[in-house]
Chain A
Amino acid sequence: MPTPRGKVEIAQDQCKGCAVCVDACPPKVLKLTTVLNVQGYHPVQYLGDGCTGCGICFYACPEPGAITVYKWQDEESKKQKAA
């Protein structure tokens, strides 16, 4: 299995389901769910695969804490960077 480049976490109860991130996401790995969250909206979910960690969804999303973006960094490149 190839190493994932990134991943995105969406706080389900903070998402208001505006779906702006769904449109903004370049690799199209976000989708609206059909479940209701505590606020009464359909939150967006990460499909679980294909995120590049570009962070674009973060700037499209109007909620401060709804989206957290992670980028994969292996130990070696981290060491190289530090050096």
Chain B
Amino acid sequence: MFNVIQQKPETFYDLFERKDGDPHVTHYCPGCGHGVAHKMIAECLEDLGIQDRTILVSPVGCSVFAYYYFDVGNVQAPHGRAPAVATGIKRSRPEAIVLSYQGDGDLAAIGGNEILHAANRGENITVFFINNAIYGMTGGQMAPTSLIGQKTTTSPFGRSLKNEGYPMRVCELLAALEAPVYLERTAIFDNKNNMRTRKAIRKAIQNQIDGLGFSLVEILSPCPTIWKMTPQESRQWVRDQMMPYFKLGIFRDKTTTQTPSAVAASETPAGLEAGSAQAASPQGASKNEPSSPPPTNSLEELKPRTDVSLDEVPAILGIRATERPGETHGQAVYGGNYNERSKFYEAASATPQGSGEEFFPRDVPEQYRDPQIKIAGFGGQGVLLLGEALAESGMLSGYRVSWLPSYGPEMRGGTAHCHVRLSQNEIGSPLVSRPTILLSLNKPSLEKFLPEAVPGALVIYNSSLIDQPPSRTDIEALPLSATEIAEKIGSPKITNMVVVGALIAKTRLLTKESVFAAIEALVKNPKLVEMNRRAVEAGMQAVMEKEEAVKV
């Protein structure tokens, strides 16, 4: 007979009811390291039978919602303050097992002070430090742990030694303190290292149960979305880029020599740590002097250039000249191919300006004019970009526009929606609370926003993922198998542009040319521009075919 040997640990809630959308899955992106770490911690809590006395302190960051998933006591701490909050909890409830779960932005940047002092006091808590060398939740800013040369949104030319300094090695830093009992750095990327991580997690929690003192496990963890990689590439990146700088190994292990006592720090002098037999195994755990140069060959590239002329500056900074109808244009356009956009401006500005004659499309059916558009789906479907494309294109077409994004801290898997207005008059508020057009890319978003739509509203929904038509009959529903169409063209990521195509074909609010020009401005990769255009055309095609069919 078959016996279950691995399944969802019972320490997780059966259903993640606090979470928006599908309650069976996490909000983490496909291939995220957090999920793996969560699973290993949950499994350990179950195996050790301490679920009922565990209190988990969630940080700020992608893992802010750890309390959605762990069926234990939960506290969510202000940014970086998890070790301080954990200290308070542990001291007031010494019998509790207090876990602090933090990312690198949280622990090493804003919370640098808290972790340092909690470790120095030898608090009997366990800290899990997920290091992915970047800020994930906020969209990819540089973290203290970002590598030299690593490009982030706040270090677009790569982290430079001169400007931002060396990446911070937290384990080595804490190993300089007397009090910590157990410090280990592991990584999530292949089977062997995953199992090492699992072992380290168990040891760090066991130490607290035994009352030994402060334990920290640093886990190098992949972030495919923000690193802009596939889950597979991200795992290679952990191995090839992160591990040479962040050496794996045990940096402190006084587990065998430490006398169990809740708060007191060790009085063993550093030199007498004979018990740390494993301390020899990491490649130069204590030899990693902070002043040693980073193992990159990027130092050459980092030399400041002195031969930059003023004209080059905008190109280096990625600034492009903005052109507006009626203004001088056709001058140097920086940072990419904006021909399509300039062409559109030329054509557009040929229309007499100031003569009261606007150039937005005039054959828009009455019911679609001055639309209040709401676009909703899950994070990662390109909901916000869809809105931006409409707004940008509307702006090019002479509308007054507004675009208001609304999204949770999730990168993917969460819900995202945005409000867009395209108006021939001044816009009073960018907020769309009663949409006249609802574009819904997944089922939860349709259920959520359908009641808000005004009677007679146009509802375009992604029938690839929504198997039931909208329940209301007083609206105009238009099913569109957008994800399937997008896949045929090459990627489910362009689902959003298929919807744009369908919308403009249906309403004639915007011209195809203006949308193409907007795409040109918003999408940086020329290859993707082409694919996005094809998606728009396919979306238009789908609607036109449908209308033809109705006529026949």
Contact = CB atoms under 8 A, between A and B. Distances in A.
Contacts of A59: 6, 36, 39-40, 191, 194-195, 198
Interface stretch (B27-35, B140-148, B276-284): B27-35
Contacts of B7: 65, 68-69
Contacts of B29: 16
Question: By DSSP majority rule, is chain A's interface helix, strand, loop, or mixed?
Answer: loop
Interface string A66-82: 11111111110000000
A50 interface: no
A33 to B, nearest CB: 13
Nearest to B197: A59
Interface residues of B, number: 49
A38 B468 CA distance: 12
10 contacts: A6-B5, A16-B31, A40-B442, A62-B30, A62-B31, A64-B9, A64-B38, A64-B69, A72-B3, A74-B1
B483 interface: yes
B484 A36 contact: yes
Interface residues of A, number: 39
A20 B222 CA distance: 11
Contacts of A55: 5-6
Interface stretch (B18-26, B96-104, B338-346): B18-26
Contacts of B484: 36
Interface string B42-82: 10000000000000000000000000010000000000000
B26 A64 contact: yes
B31 A18 contact: yes
A64 B12 contact: yes
A14 interface: yes
Interface string A1-39: 000001100010110111110011010000000001011
B378 interface: yes
A64 B1 contact: no
A6 B191 CA distance: 18
A71 B3 contact: yes
Contacts of B6: 55, 58-59, 67-69
B357 to A, nearest CB: 44
Nearest to B194: A59
B6 to A, nearest CB: 4
Contacts of A72: 1-3
B24 A40 contact: no
Contacts of B381: 40
Contacts of A24: 190-191
Residue in A19, A24, A39, A68 with the greatest tally of chain B CB atoms within 10 Å: A39
Contact of B492 (A18, A40, A56, A75): A40
Contact of B26 (A6, A13, A62, A67): A62
Contacts of B36: 59-62
B443 interface: yes
A65 B12 contact: yes
Contact of B413 (A16, A23, A38, A73): A16
